[in-house]
Amino acid sequence: MASSHVEKLSPSSVSAENPVECGSSVHDASSSSLETQASASPKKRPADENIRDEARRQGLGAPRCTFSAKYVPFSPFEDTEEEYSLDEIIYRSKTGALLDVQHDLEALKKYDATYWKNLFDSRVGKTSWPYGSGVWSKKEWVLPQIDNDDIVSLFEGNSNLFWAERFGKEMLQMNDLWVKQCGISHTGSFKDLGMTVLVSQVNRLRRMKKPLLGVGCASTGDTSAALSAYCAAAGIPAIVFLPANRISIAQLVQPIANGALVLSLDTDFDGCMRLIREVTAELPIYLANSLNSLRLEGQKTAAIEICQQFDWEVPDWVIVPGGNLGNIYAFFKGFHMCKELGLIDRIPRLVCAQAANANPLYLYYKAGWKNFKAIKASNTFASAIQIGDPVSIDRAVFALQNSDGIVEEATEEELMDACAQADLTGMFTCPHTGVALAALIKLRKNGVIRATDRAVVVSTAHGLKFTQSKIDYHSKAIADLPCKFANPPVQVANDFGAVMDVLRRELSLR
């Protein structure tokens, strides 16, 4: 927590809508309190005012922003003076290192842990702009300086924690197993969390008259869906590079429907990534992949949310499927920030789960973090993580090394069986969540994860985006896969007797 010389503000100085705030919607912390907010009579919004206008009006005459963030090189082991404003269009340091968004922690530490907990709790589930969003409810820790007026939000985040009661108990003898449903979201994946931040910043840059034609990404289907939706909501052109025939139909139709310029390229994701980097270096198109550290600021809020949902008790394990490897670092960053600011006392052990067909991180981990080699990723049902040359490899290693982390892998059979078994207990999992569940099963079987541990599996996308893999599995139509838990429909004639025969057989009736 903050050093003792800092005089901290107490929880009673928090306003439910806004604390000492940055951007347009600012209240003086000393002039309003949770209690006064609660007792105030309900205010009617004028007919010609929407929630954005209301937030703007409330912010008029606000004090200057007290929190700030900037880009610094991601070089945890070297001291460097290099830094950039978030208003610069830059993705790499002078030496070519990744960038990181660094917050002014000393300013944040002027407020104690109870203050932040109360503030975040007071915003959950509201419609006040933009704090009803799970991401923007943590605005001071995400993009403190952005004007609320520039924010492009679809009220993302606040995803539920599913208590995996039957799966935990029957499969793993665990009572405290949870699935963080990040895929139950506007575009059906966790990418919405990062995209609201990135597109908001682009909106700000465009208002500042920075020459940006649009925003572009390479994608295995989820980043492109999120980018297209947020850009469409803001009226900003989106350009997406997709590997032809390697993403699901449901994912492909999302950017098409949202009006993005869709380029279907005859290469894999890694090829698309190389091309978008070349194109964004050449044209004024802002890069929206997680190479851009702004994305991770939004994604890290899922970790903060998990702590909040457990009333700031830290789970023992958090298992995250990994592809381009931004998200595992985002989770680390969220937990680390909570610890730095005194909201939690430790960081959970992180597990990054990869498909065995696309496992460069797993191989690196097994080699004792020596000689990283990019690979050519093979086809996997977990198509969104079919990535052989992950951009955030250094970030992922840092996250794992600093959380006593583990890397696991799952074969196609293991991940598809894990999905089917989870679905049989009421979930509707995507194959990437299957990878994480399969990793959990392995770690539980070998005793690394204990029966009494509290574990959270991060579900990264909605199963409805990947129905073809489920159809293939339940039709037993996958070569070399026994599909042990398939539940194919029974074809029956339009005949009462035939129906009764099937019911007697299936329900073991006499």
Ligand X SMILES: N[C@@H](CCOP(=O)(O)O)C(=O)O
Ligand Y SMILES: Cc1ncc(COP(=O)(O)O)c(C=O)c1O
State which residue, 420 or 430, has the beta carbon closest to ligand Y: 430
Q: Does 384 bind ligand X (CB under 6 A)?
A: yes
Please report where in the chains the tokens 């496992």 appear, as a residue.
359
DSSP 378: P
Residue 289 site contact among ligand Y, ligand X, none (CB < 5 to 8 Å, cut-off depends on kind): ligand X
Residue 240 site contact among ligand X, ligand Y, none (CB < 5 to 8 Å, cut-off depends on kind): none
Interacting positions 129-168 with ligand X (CB under 6 A)? none
Which of 323, 348, 360, 405 is the binder for ligand X (CB under 6 A)? 323
Q: Does 323 bind ligand Y (CB under 6 A)?
A: yes
**Cα 231 to Cα 259: distance, rounded to the nearest angstrom:** 9
Q: How far is CA 239 from the centre of its chain?
A: 21
Residue type, 233: A
Q: Of 134-142, 148-156, 220-228, 407-415, which part binds ligand X (CB under 6 A)?
A: 220-228
Find the helix or strand (DSSP H, E) in which 350 lies: strand 349-355
Q: Does 221 bind ligand X (CB under 6 A)?
A: yes
Shortest approach of ligand Y to residue 267 CB, angstroms?
17
State which residue, 223 or 357, has the beta carbon closest to ligand X: 223
Shortest approach of ligand Y to residue 252 CB, angstroms?
14
CB-facing half-sphere around the CA of 425: CA atoms within 13 A: 20
Q: Does 460 bind ligand Y (CB under 6 A)?
A: yes
Q: Of 95-103, 321-329, 363-371, 399-407, which part binds ligand Y (CB under 6 A)?
A: 321-329
Which of 153, 185, 223, 280 is the binder for ligand X (CB under 6 A)? 223
The count of chain residues that interact with ligand X, using the rule CB under 6 A, is: 14
DSSP 169: I
Q: Does 196 bind ligand X (CB under 6 A)?
A: no
Residue 351 site contact among ligand X, ligand Y, none (CB < 5 to 8 Å, cut-off depends on kind): none
Q: Does 2 bind ligand X (CB under 6 A)?
A: no
352 closest CA partner among 462, 435, 415: 435
Which of 322, 334, 348, 405 is the binder for ligand Y (CB under 6 A)? 322
Residue 461 site contact among ligand X, ligand Y, none (CB < 5 to 8 Å, cut-off depends on kind): ligand Y
State which residue, 194 or 342, has the beta carbon closest to ligand X: 194
State which residue, 384 or 406, has the beta carbon closest to ligand X: 384
Which of 140, 222, 270, 414 is the binder for ligand Y (CB under 6 A)? 222
At 459, give phi and psi (nearest 5°).
Answer: -90, 120
State which residue, 14 or 252, has the beta carbon closest to ligand Y: 252
Q: Does 321 bind ligand X (CB under 6 A)?
A: no
Secondary structure of residue 57 in the 3-state scheme: helix
Find the helix or strand (DSSP H, E) in which 467 lies: helix 467-474
Check if the beta carbon of residue 21 is closer than 8 Å to that of residue 67.
no
Shortest approach of ligand Y to residue 133 CB, angstroms?
20
Please report where in the chains the tokens 């000689």 appear, as a residue.
371
Q: Does 289 bind ligand X (CB under 6 A)?
A: yes
Neighbouring C-beta atoms of residue 388, cutoff 10 Å = 18
Q: Which two tokens stand for residue 426?
A: 């009421």
Shortest approach of ligand Y to residue 219 CB, angstroms?
8
Q: Which are the contacts of 345, defined by CB distance < 8 A and separation ≥ 6?
A: 314, 339
Q: Does 385 bind ligand Y (CB under 6 A)?
A: yes
Neighbouring C-beta atoms of residue 401, cutoff 10 Å = 12
231 closest CA partner among 152, 296, 299: 152
**Cα 472 to Cα 120: distance, rounded to the nearest angstrom:** 43
Please report where in the chains the tokens 């919607």 appear, as a residue.
25
Terminal-to-terminal C-alpha distance of the chain: 68
Could you list the residues that contact ligand X (CB under 6 A)?
217, 219-224, 289-290, 323-324, 326, 384, 391
Could you list the residues that contact ligand Y (CB under 6 A)?
189, 220, 222, 290, 321-327, 384-385, 430, 432, 460-461
